[in-house]
Structure 1
Amino acid sequence: MSSTAATHQADTSAKADSTEYDVVVLGAGPVGENVADRTRAAGLSTAIIESELIGGECSYWACMPSKALLRPVIARADARRVPGLRQLVSGDLDAAAVLAHRDYYTSHWKDDGQVGWLENIGADIYRGQGRFSGPRTVTVTGPDGEQHTLIARHAVAVCTGSRAQLPDLPGLADVRPWTSREATSSPTVPGRLIVVGGGVVATEMATAWQALGSQVTVLVRGKGLLPRMESFAGELVAEALSEAGVEIRTGTSIASVVRENGTVVATTDAGDRVEADEILFATGRAPRTDDIGLETVGVEPGSWLSVDDSLLVTGTDWLYAVGDVNHRALLTHQGKYQARIAGAAIAARAQGTPLIEPAPWGAHAATADHAAVPQVVFTDPEAAAVGLTFTEAQQAGHRVRAVDVEFSSVAGAGLYADGYHGRARMVVDLDGEILLGVTFVGPGVGELIHSATIAVAGQVPVGRLWHAVPSYPTISEVWLRFLEAYQG
């Protein structure tokens, strides 16, 4: 294979061809694309395989379309909090314009631009279903049944991501439920929508579709929303959703669901009936590892793949699992971070350069996946967090203190939004005097989280944070209020 990139489509030959590469990447979402980019930059020949659209879940059914739906919702909410502006934005959102904008950001579900990017870096693209047929060997079955066998000299990287996990309810397939894919790509606004779940997808989609005109009911099995964050995050988001008109029922599970004459009827474990036009299940994720031939290389199909800090699958010296499939942090930005680590590790090993073990915070160690994973939930108010919650830190054996601040004490917050309502917490390791976690809830706090990520990842001493002076008057002054509360 020449170094000039190619996109391989149908092959009329009935006999499978065989091609060697330094690296084979299975899955061409953001994670796979970044692995390919790093290995190509290191001079390694690289093939990348994709069964759907180049660009993956994030580009077409997750990050990009969901944030395109949510941006006008958040912008309108912010404008309504500014005196002199709120009266100009009192009407409803133009749902058709919002959906059209969403379609633009998904490139209308066409991947030409991302194909071009991969070809420009010199990666060879194979379209079809890739399955292992033995160690270092992947057979690609194309859309017309043609096959290509790819042999990796150095590494195969599994970057196939995750899929929505549906509950085991009889007849659920006949109901045609929404998953995150349908929720972010629906061409119309449902009149009534049931959202099952209380996590990120559930809260973001409840926020978006309610603002676009749906009557939304959220059914949560647990005690509240956003259970993996500090409890006040879910409480403030639930309060705002309820004020917007969303009905939230906690401690509620679905016993059965049917579609009667086009209407979804969900019966709860308490015997209540909830009717809607559509029902979204946002109840977890499963790895896309069930149909890629892992059994041929001694790995259990359908499982999350265990890896070391260089993303090498446990017990192998050539197989990498990057992104959602390793279950370390199911977030696009963390998957891309892992891809940079994996690409560097693959290149080093291919070139015979030993990795320094252990190598915390080194070029070949995905240390941040243990200590400093940031996330933003684009609800109104936004919720953003990095690192450990107070409870997680205690359970991990740290001697910690939680320092809480109300944003009402921050001058910049009041200027940002009239009646700004929000809360922040930092979790301090009292032995090391460093931050283990930070959580913000309030309008615009997504832009604050990187400062917290730097503090947590960099293990910046609390004393030194006094010299990181926040600009006045900005919401970032919350850092000064943190330090004053900690000292006081």
Structure 2
Amino acid sequence: MKYDVLIAGGGDGGLAVYRTVRSLRPDWEIAVVKPEKGFCFKCPLPFYIAGEAPFEGVFHRDEEMFKDVELIYSRLVGGSAQDGKAVLENGETLAFKKLVLATGSKPYVPEFPGRNLGKIFTLRTVESAQAMVEALKEAERAVIVGGGTIATELCEAFLKRKVKPTLIVRSRLLRASFDSDFSTLIGEALKAEGVDLRLGRQVGKILGEKEVSAVELDDGERIPADLVVFASGTRPVLDPALKLGAALGVKGVKVDRRMETSLKNVYAVGEIAEVPHLVGGHPTTAQTASSAMLQGFVAGFNAAGFHAEYPGEAQALLSKVFSLHLGRAGLTFEEALRLGFQASQQNLEFRDHYTSLPGGNLYRAKMVFDRASGKLLGCQFLGEATVADKVEAACLALRAGFTMETLAFHTAASFPASTFNPRFNQFREAAMRMLLEKLREG
């Protein structure tokens, strides 16, 4: 059989490709090649570990997610795009008309003594999450290595399991996807809840006989630990694309706006695909499920014979550190300066309802503009309640290329229980301040 579309990978991006093609071409033959059975939503895994999300909330049978499709449990290891042939790890050869690579990434664990001891984990699959939960039942102390989203969310999950976490961050900044002032506030929120935060430190070795007993840092300090979790980043799985002959860029597989690689009728999505940044234009990759799925929708439209284009990676992010909600989109102020923009920032503090009403949730926002073009470059938010609506609005403004003039005079609704005051809107306020500064400077 020659498949109309063959999808290599069954994660978020692969699922989006399948659902898009199936909805557009209900009579086409589709096959999905995936290495393991079951579908795991990775974003809720820290909530599952904390005991807040049920098993069935994060893990689903393939029959629930991939309907009316042939599932093949193996890996793509080679083939010929020109001949429309894919070679699998199990020795099988499949014929295809269109191929979509959605092979994802694998956790990165540095090389050092003791890395193969028991009770060392990464968080990528439901099996690893289940094993971690079992280990936490007998643990009192844990070391988490990494300074990103998963690492900080696991700190909260471990404390809810009554396990004391020490967070080891190689950089002197926590959550490097935020500017340093926001990063400092995130670190303070962690420490206030009892997290032992070590910035600017690295793991030298892991000690123990069969299982972990302690972690020795690069300065010789030893931290007792009953388990260790590495949340120190991932590496894209590029071998299948390389074996097929797809061109690589500096970050991953080169694709055009249609998510098509240098090989005709071969597409790539998710963490392996190098795409332009929505604002800066520099090469980057998707690091969230929402971006991988959007790329999957685009690739699915094109593989099905229609036309769609990926606008660029906005690097939008939502997360939470205990009671502090985090969000960002576009460029940080520090990123914008490094890329050569004439960047300027506006910092705001506001509440989510009129000051004449008691209480309310406090928010901090940072808006970054380019003084030369007037365009909005990026936004960051911290809040006592969700910032999802603010990040969503920021993504739309960035996609549209809104300038300080556009935002300063845009209309917005107001209601005492929902907004700070009739005059205030975070985008309008920041843009108006920038515009007034620019006018005063002549």
Q: Does 1:226 align with 2:226?
A: no
**Which is strand-richer, 1 or 2?**
2
Cα displacement (A) at 1:326: 1.7
Distance change in 2, residues 1:41/1:278 (3 Å): same
1:166-196 deviations in Å (ceiling 9; x for gaps): 0011331124411123774433433211011
- The residue identity in structure 1 corresponding to 2:111 is D
More deviation, 262-271/164-173: 262-271
Measured in 2, the distance between the counterparts of 1:405 and 1:168 equals 43
Measured in 2, the distance between the counterparts of 1:204 and 1:161 equals 21
Correspondence for 2:387 among 445, 464, 469: 445
Please give the secondary structure, in 1, of the residue aligned with 2:44: helix
Residue 454 of structure 1 corresponds to: 396
More deviation, 478-487/381-390: 478-487
Residues 247 and 261, structure 2, Cα contact 8 Å, conserved in 1: no
Residue 390 of structure 1 corresponds to: 333
Q: Does 1:282 align with 2:231?
A: yes
Residue 344 of structure 1 corresponds to: 301
Measured in 2, the distance between the counterparts of 1:279 and 1:116 equals 33
Residue 280 of structure 2 corresponds to: none
Distance change in 2, residues 1:228/1:215 (3 Å): same
Residues 126 and 140, structure 1, Cα contact 8 Å, conserved in 2: no
Residues 121 and 229, structure 2, Cα contact 8 Å, conserved in 1: yes
Measured in 1, the distance between the counterparts of 2:411 and 2:157 equals 36
Residue 66 of structure 2 corresponds to: 118
Correspondence for 2:252 among 283, 287, 304: 304
Q: Does 1:167 align with 2:74?
A: no
Distance change in 2, residues 1:417/1:288 (3 Å): farther
More deviation, 465-474/212-221: 465-474
- The residue identity in structure 2 corresponding to 1:432 is S
1:337-357 deviations in Å (ceiling 9; x for gaps): 111111222233xxxx7xxxx
Cα displacement (A) at 1:41: 2.9
Correspondence for 1:193 among 134, 142, 155: 142
Measured in 1, the distance between the counterparts of 2:166 and 2:129 equals 17
Residues 246 and 261, structure 2, Cα contact 8 Å, conserved in 1: no
Cα displacement (A) at 1:250: 1.0
Cα displacement (A) at 1:367: 1.9
Measured in 2, the distance between the counterparts of 1:243 and 1:325 equals 37
Measured in 1, the distance between the counterparts of 2:89 and 2:77 equals 8
Correspondence for 1:329 among 269, 286, 289: 286
1:231-310 alignment, distance < 5 Å? 231-260=180-209, 262-290=211-239, 292=240, 294-295=242-243, 297=245, 304-310=252-258
1:376-408 deviations in Å (ceiling 9; x for gaps): 122231210000111222232322321111236
Measured in 1, the distance between the counterparts of 2:358 and 2:37 equals 40
Please give the secondary structure, in 2, of the residue aligned with 1:167: coil
Aligned residues: 406
Measured in 1, the distance between the counterparts of 2:368 and 2:419 equals 19
Residues 65 and 102, structure 1, Cα contact 8 Å, conserved in 2: no
1:318-341 deviations in Å (ceiling 9; x for gaps): 221111112511211001111111
- The residue identity in structure 1 corresponding to 2:312 is A
Residue 440 of structure 2 corresponds to: none
Measured in 2, the distance between the counterparts of 1:280 and 1:376 equals 22
Residue 266 of structure 2 corresponds to: 319
- The residue identity in structure 1 corresponding to 2:30 is T
Residue 55 of structure 1 corresponds to: 39
Cα displacement (A) at 1:263: 4.3
Measured in 1, the distance between the counterparts of 2:163 and 2:209 equals 20
- The residue identity in structure 1 corresponding to 2:7 is V
Measured in 1, the distance between the counterparts of 2:185 and 2:194 equals 15
1:90-137 deviations in Å (ceiling 9; x for gaps): xxxxx6xx25x3323124xxx33x424422xx3322222333233321
Residues 413 and 474, structure 1, Cα contact 8 Å, conserved in 2: no
Cα displacement (A) at 1:248: 0.6
Residue 34 of structure 1 corresponds to: 16
- The CA RMSD measured in Å over matched residues stands at 2.8
TM-score of the superposition, structure 2-length normalised?
0.83
- The residue identity in structure 2 corresponding to 1:456 is L
Distance change in 2, residues 1:118/1:263 (3 Å): closer
- The residue identity in structure 2 corresponding to 1:105 is G
TM-score of the superposition, structure 1-length normalised?
0.76
Residue 72 of structure 1 corresponds to: none
Q: Does 1:105 align with 2:57?
A: yes
Measured in 2, the distance between the counterparts of 1:213 and 1:417 equals 31
Q: Identity of counterpart residues, as a percentage?
A: 23
Residue 434 of structure 1 corresponds to: 375
- The residue identity in structure 2 corresponding to 1:270 is D
Residue 311 of structure 2 corresponds to: 367
1:394-427 deviations in Å (ceiling 9; x for gaps): 232322321111236x646997966x55421011
Residues 132 and 138, structure 1, Cα contact 8 Å, conserved in 2: yes
Residue 13 of structure 1 corresponds to: none
- The residue identity in structure 1 corresponding to 2:271 is D
Please give the secondary structure, in 1, of the residue aligned with 2:5: strand
Measured in 2, the distance between the counterparts of 1:416 and 1:341 equals 46
Correspondence for 1:208 among 145, 149, 157: 157
Structure 1 unmatched ranges of 5 or more:
1-18, 70-94, 354-362
